[in-house]
């Protein structure tokens, strides 16, 4: 949903549009917060640099950003434990 980012931030109408489009695909509503987390998780999943993700997401502390990496590591661990 960051494709809709304007120079002065992300427009509410852009986020609402993505939420509206996602509803029939997912079958349940998603919040803007869920979209934000899915973006962070995808960036980690795509092996992006954590510091770059921190800046992109606007996190004051890298510890907030590392949560995405921890989720990714747990998914990886679960995959091999099955």
The listed range with the strongest mean pLDDT (8-12, 30-34, 59-63, 68-72) is 59-63
Give the tokens for residue 3.
Answer: 């494709």
> What is the per-residue pLDDT for 26?
83
Q: What is the mean pLDDT of the chain?
A: 77
Question: What is the C-alpha separation between 62 and 8, in angstroms, rounded?
Answer: 24
52-11-35-56 Cα dihedral, nearest 10 degrees: 10
Over the stretch 35-51, which tens digit does the pLDDT of each residue have? Answer: 888 888 888 888 899 99
Which pTM value belongs to this model?
0.62
The single-letter DSSP state of residue 1 is -
Q: Is a pLDDT exceeding 50 seen at residue 6?
A: yes
CA dist 27 → 1, 41, 58 (Å) = 18, 21, 30
């Amino acid at each position: 949903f960051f494709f809709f980012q304007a120079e002065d931030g992300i427009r509410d109408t852009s986020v609402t549009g993505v939420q509206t489009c996602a509803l029939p695909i997912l079958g349940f509503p998603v919040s803007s917060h869920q979209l934000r987390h899915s973006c962070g998780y995808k960036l980690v999943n795509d092996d992006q640099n954590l510091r770059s993700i921190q800046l992109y997401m606007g996190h004051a502390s890298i510890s907030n950003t590392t949560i995405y990496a921890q989720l990714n590591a747990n998914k990886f661990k679960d995959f091999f434990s099955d």
